[in-house]
Amino acid sequence: MRRLALLRIAWITLYRDRLGVLLYALVPVIFLSIFASVFQGFGRNGENKVRIAMLDLDGSPAAKALGTAVREASERIDLVLITGDDVAAADRKVASGDFPAAVVIPRGFGAAVGDFKAEIPPLVVRYDPANPIAPDFARGVLAAASWKGLAPQMLGREIRVLEMVAGTLTPAQRKLAETLQKAGETDGKPPPMVEQLAMATQVPIDGGPVTIGQGGPSLVTYYTAAIGVMFMLFSALSTTGWLLEDQERGVLDRMRTSGIGSWTVLLNRFIFAILVGSLQIAVMLAWAAAAFGVRFFSVRQFVALLVIIPAVAAASAGLGLLITCIARTRRQQTTIGTITVLILSAVGGSMIPRFLMPPSLKAVGEWAFNARAIDAMQQVLWYTTPDDTLVAMLGRIGPALILIAVTTVVCLAGARVAMTRWE
């Protein structure tokens, strides 16, 4: 039994730490719920909808039928009609971050579908390269919807093309059928008539990525913001945790006897955490620019970053101080803080991009300051167009800055109230 004494002591220690037992039991359940809610939505209709803009430059019945068929083809598509005179109008919608992709129905589309001798102008899919799911998803839905929505016109083209290729004689029709059958049974290149038939009876789809902001790798830009915010939270936990060590060593008591109040101590630690967090993310941005081509070199981007980075660092520092003042020991502060940061990062988009999340989880993230911070930094780093002014950029990130400021004030006030038990 002596050999099991250490095991028994460890069990008693864990049992007496009620908070630790609770965290051991709840944290796996919480993380499973977050990740399951994200990926379960991919197997259910109506979840994880992709917002896609449609610009109809043709206005023909065939174009309207195609739009209706796209909506009916998949419940995962949230199709929004936009107005404009050319493809550039769709590009502007994508470049501003309003939509991950846009479909443009070109002029003359309906007339070409009705004329079997005319070449159908391709549908154009323009997309944000920061979202790798939207473009292929849009192309697939368009390919399926074009047959469903334009069935009469496409069948009519097939019959006319078949008549043109095979003639009116039954032997020729049989010969064509045999040729098509043999082409399907071999691995070689199909004969020219098969390619002609295929090209004449399908709706071509063309397109490409929209040039956004200063260029650079899109997903790297996203994760520069996402990882930067997450590690700013961890940095705030570390720097504010020193306050507990000062309390345990009696340093705070000696400060109080010398006339230094609790607010002064709290604000000094708060400002120090802001400086460390801002410096940390500045180093990360510099490395992202040097090593991975992330671009943020315009004056308006610099100014916007000088606003958003200290604001996020302040909210992180406020949250760190609140957790520190609630905890009773440094170990408890580390445990609670780490779990809080991981949950916020999972919900806020540091671990999984928010465009993959179902609407219910996105709604939760709307109230998390780190999610808004990532969105704001993404606006500055990625969705900056040459036409943007500093006022326009600050206006777009304004709602995020307000939520971040409110979070900072609430956490700082809560930390001051919790700190009264040390006095």
- Confidence class for position 423, pLDDT limits 50, 70, 90: low
Query: pLDDT tens across 285-308, in order?
Result: 888 888 887 777 788 888 999 999
Residue 185 lies in a domain: no
Nearest 5°: phi and psi at 92?
-65, -40
Let me know whether 276 and 384 are in one domain.
Answer: yes
- Nearest partner of 136 among 177, 196, 76, 181, judged by Cα: 76
| Percent above pLDDT 70 for the chain | 69
- Nearest partner of 111 among 121, 102, 98, 126, judged by Cα: 121
Let me know whether 282 and 399 are in one domain.
Answer: yes
Residue 413 lies in a domain: yes
Domain span at residue 86? Answer: 44-150+203-209
More confident residue, 58 or 257: 58
pLDDT of residue 184: 45
Residue 345 lies in a domain: yes
Residue 41 pLDDT exceeds 80: no
Give the C-alpha separation, 55 to 87, whole Å: 8
Residue 319 pLDDT exceeds 70: yes
User: Residue range 17-46: average pLDDT?
Assistant: 63
Residue 410 pLDDT exceeds 70: yes
pLDDT of residue 160: 60
Give the C-alpha separation, 93 to 8, whole Å: 64
Give me 388's structure tokens.
């943007």
Residue 388 pLDDT exceeds 80: no
Residue that finishes a domain, picked among 209, 227, 253: 209
More confident residue, 38 or 326: 326
Residue that finishes a domain, picked among 179, 209, 239: 209
- Confidence class for position 25, pLDDT limits 50, 70, 90: low
- Confidence class for position 95, pLDDT limits 50, 70, 90: confident
Give the C-alpha separation, 68 to 24, whole Å: 51
Residue 367 lies in a domain: yes
User: Residue range 78-105: average pLDDT?
Assistant: 83
Residue 286 lies in a domain: yes
Query: pLDDT tens across 171-216, in order?
Result: 665 565 555 545 444 555 555 555 555 555 566 777 777 766 655 5
Let me know whether 373 and 253 are in one domain.
Answer: yes
Let me know whether 146 and 224 are in one domain.
Answer: no
Let me know whether 136 and 224 are in one domain.
Answer: no
User: Residue range 254-273: average pLDDT?
Assistant: 82
Residue 186 lies in a domain: no
Residue 331 pLDDT exceeds 90: no
Q: Tokens 């399951």 sit at which residue?
A: 36
Let me know whether 144 and 257 are in one domain.
Answer: no
Give the C-alpha separation, 84 to 76, whole Å: 25
Flag the least confident range among 64-73, 204-213, 221-230: 204-213
pLDDT of residue 3: 62
Number of domains into which the chain is organized: 2
**Helix, strand, coil abundance in the chain, percent, nearest 5:** 70, 5, 25
Let me know whether 115 and 247 are in one domain.
Answer: no
Residue 69 pLDDT exceeds 80: no
Residue 39 pLDDT exceeds 80: no
pLDDT of residue 185: 46
Sheet harboring 205-209: ordered strands across? 77-82, 50-56, 101-105, 123-127, 205-209
Residue 19 pLDDT exceeds 70: no
**Prediction pTM value:** 0.70
pLDDT of residue 276: 92
pLDDT of residue 35: 63
Query: pLDDT tens across 369-387, in order?
Result: 999 999 898 888 877 777 7
Residue 336 lies in a domain: yes
Residue 318 pLDDT exceeds 90: yes
More confident residue, 45 or 4: 4
Average pLDDT taken over every residue of the chain = 77
pLDDT of residue 149: 57
Residue 153 pLDDT exceeds 90: no
Give the C-alpha separation, 421 to 325, whole Å: 9
- Nearest partner of 115 among 152, 149, 156, 151, judged by Cα: 156
